[in-house]
């Protein structure tokens, strides 16, 4: 394995920080032990936690108006894997990459898997793309893909998803994430019922191609690119489709795919209750599908989602194995810094959720002691768990201060010397 940064460099950077970290960790340990919590047990859980990074998040993202590339950003999957390896080497929380096809298309996927392994990385869910037309594509997705009224277009979309499964098998993945932008911009443009019928018929063909241990993760989204109706627009449509498709079909919750103020943690609890919680695309938003950094706008919501996940793990239904992945668009920051900061925010919310005194919470809930039930969550949320997350990271070879160590590595400046500049343009990648 050849990691991108020298471990001596990280150790030197840590040497200046470790004493303060040990002090903070010891103090927090004393504080938590006063409430009967063993900090080492929490740290061990945190050490076992990880979240996948999106290959498409390694480059600058954009909107329909513009994208502003930065010097040294990755131009292909090989450079994206290098940057993802930097994120994992410093954070020790992101050992898997979720690829997107055809954006990450190469000729030799076995070689790509070995390349990732040599960087300490594996592959998480593969993502299909039937929301863009590719050069030379026979049938356009402009009027839909898996739900298109044109049989040949549906078959083309089915074939693409099956190709993604075959690629994923070579990469060692076991999940296919299917998000379709299919929908309408005008009332009457499509029959709302028949659109879902066509989607289900086509999705069933993709389902039939899934290897035994694979899952198909259906990703719902309220709107965009369609602005009147979307075929899989909400968790209701998604869970009904997943139930129609049967056991290997699960629902993926992208936090940004809901109307403002929707209670996403309740959606998580519901999907788990019916054994259909398949995974997450973590990000944050204030208005629409803003794809902002996780925990940057509403960290309390992210905590409440993890509170439901810790509860769900204690009460497994049809198993509990959600795929944790980040899905963000880094329009104004260095993508590596955003994913370091996001992985930290996500892991901190998991750690805080582990601190909830569930006995006290459940007792207060049963007694309808509203304030004490709320305080059971709030007390945990208010704990600064940064020393626990940092300790787990350092013990795994990561950095105490991931952003300062990343900047001191001058990685981006070095890559700006090596990599081709990315052209101006618009859109997510």
State the residues that interact with ligand LRH by CB under 6 A: 56, 127, 179, 219, 221, 254, 281, 289, 327, 428
Complex with Mn ion: residue 128 or 190, whichever CB lies closer: 128
Helix axes 402-409, 77-91, angle to 10 degrees: 130
What stretches of 120-234 show up as alpha helix (H) in DSSP?
151-171, 192-208
Least distance to ligand LRH from the beta carbon of 259, Å?
15
Among ligand LRH, Mn ion, none, residue 265 binds (CB under 5-8 Å by kind):
none
Least distance to ligand LRH from the beta carbon of 277, Å?
16
The CA–CA distances, whole Å, from 322 to 225, 232, 247, 316, 383 equal 26, 20, 14, 11, 25
Complex with Mn ion: residue 203 or 351, whichever CB lies closer: 203
Nearest residue to ligand LRH, by Cβ distance, number only: 179
Complex with ligand LRH: residue 73 or 311, whichever CB lies closer: 73
Complex with Mn ion: residue 399 or 428, whichever CB lies closer: 428
Peptide bond into 225 cis (omega under 30): yes
254 touching Mn ion, by CB under 5 A: yes
Among Mn ion, ligand LRH, none, residue 83 binds (CB under 5-8 Å by kind):
none
Least distance to ligand LRH from the beta carbon of 127, Å?
5
- Please count the residues of this chain forming the interface with Mn ion, following the rule CB under 5 A: 3
Residue 246 has phi, psi (to 5 degrees) of: 90, -170
Least distance to Mn ion from the beta carbon of 410, Å?
32
Name the segment binding Mn ion (CB under 5 A); options: 83-91, 194-202, 230-238, 323-331: 323-331
β-strand 215-219 against 122-123: which pairing, if any?
unpaired
Residues 6+ apart with CB under 8 A from 366: none
Among ligand LRH, Mn ion, none, residue 289 binds (CB under 5-8 Å by kind):
ligand LRH
Least distance to Mn ion from the beta carbon of 127, Å?
8
CA 165 – CA 145 distance, rounded (Å): 17
CA 364 – CA 376 distance, rounded (Å): 9
Complex with ligand LRH: residue 258 or 281, whichever CB lies closer: 281
Least distance to Mn ion from the beta carbon of 323, Å?
12
Gyration radius of the chain's alpha carbons: 22
Least distance to ligand LRH from the beta carbon of 191, Å?
24
Complex with Mn ion: residue 184 or 328, whichever CB lies closer: 328
The CA–CA distances, whole Å, from 173 to 52, 125, 157, 323, 325 equal 12, 6, 20, 11, 13
Least distance to Mn ion from the beta carbon of 161, Å?
16
Task: Summarize the chain as % helix, strand, coil (round to 5).
Answer: 50, 10, 40
Q: What is the DSSP string of 12-50?
A: HHHHTTHHHHHHHHHHHHHHHHTTT--HHHHHHHHHT--
Among ligand LRH, Mn ion, none, residue 127 binds (CB under 5-8 Å by kind):
ligand LRH
* CB-based contact 351:316 (threshold 8 Å): no
100 touching Mn ion, by CB under 5 A: no
327 touching Mn ion, by CB under 5 A: yes
Member of 281, 330, 393, 415 binding Mn ion (CB under 5 A): 281
What stretches of 37-137 show up as alpha helix (H) in DSSP?
39-47, 77-91, 109-118
Binding positions for Mn ion, rule: CB under 5 A: 254, 281, 327
């Amino acid at each position: 394995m050849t990691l991108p940064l020298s471990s001596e460099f990280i150790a030197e950077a840590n040497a200046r920080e470790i004493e303060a970290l040990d002090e903070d960790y010891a103090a927090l340990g004393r504080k938590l032990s006063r409430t009967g919590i063993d900090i080492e047990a929490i740290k061990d859980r945190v050490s076992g936690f990880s979240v996948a990074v999106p290959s498409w998040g390694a480059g600058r993202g954009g909107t329909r108006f513009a994208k502003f590339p930065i010097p040294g950003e990755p131009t292909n999957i090989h450079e994206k894997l290098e940057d993802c390896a930097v994120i994992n080497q410093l954070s020790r929380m992101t050992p898997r990459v979720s690829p997107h096809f055809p954006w990450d298309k190469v000729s030799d996927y076995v070689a790509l898997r070995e390349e990732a392994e040599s960087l300490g990385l594996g592959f998480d869910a593969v993502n299909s793309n039937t929301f863009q037309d590719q050069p030379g594509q026979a049938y356009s997705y402009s009027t839909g893909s898996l739900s298109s009224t044109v049989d040949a277009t549906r078959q083309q979309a089915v074939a693409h998803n099956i190709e993604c499964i075959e690629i994923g098998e070579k990469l060692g993945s076991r999940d296919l994430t299917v998000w379709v932008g299919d929908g309408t911009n005008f009332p009457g443009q499509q029959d709302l019922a028949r659109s879902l019928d066509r989607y289900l018929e086509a999705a069933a063909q993709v389902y039939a191609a899934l290897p035994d241990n694979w899952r198909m993760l259906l990703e719902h989204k309220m709107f965009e690119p369609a602005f009147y109706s979307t075929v899989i627009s909400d968790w209701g449509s998604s869970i009904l489709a997943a139930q129609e498709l049967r056991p290997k079909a699960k629902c993926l919750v992208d936090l940004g795919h809901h109307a403002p103020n929707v209670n996403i943690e309740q959606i998580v609890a519901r999907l788990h209750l019916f054994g259909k919680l398949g995974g997450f695309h973590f990000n944050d938003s204030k208005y629409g599908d803003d794809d902002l950094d996780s925990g940057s706008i509403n960290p309390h919501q992210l905590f409440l989602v993890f509170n439901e996940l810790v509860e769900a793990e204690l009460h497994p239904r049809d198993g509990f194995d959600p795929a944790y992945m980040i899905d963000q668009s880094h329009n104004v920051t260095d993508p590596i810094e955003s994913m370091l900061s996001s992985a930290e925010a996500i892991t901190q919310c998991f750690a805080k959720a582990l601190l909830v005194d569930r006995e006290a919470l459940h007792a207060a809930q049963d007694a309808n002691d509203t304030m004490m039930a709320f305080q059971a969550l709030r007390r945990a949320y208010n704990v600064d768990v940064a020393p626990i997350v940092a300790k787990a990271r350092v013990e795994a070879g990561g950095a105490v201060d991931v952003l300062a160590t990343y900047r001191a590595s001058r990685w981006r400046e070095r890559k700006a010397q090596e990599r081709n500049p990315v052209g101006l343009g618009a859109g997510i990648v």
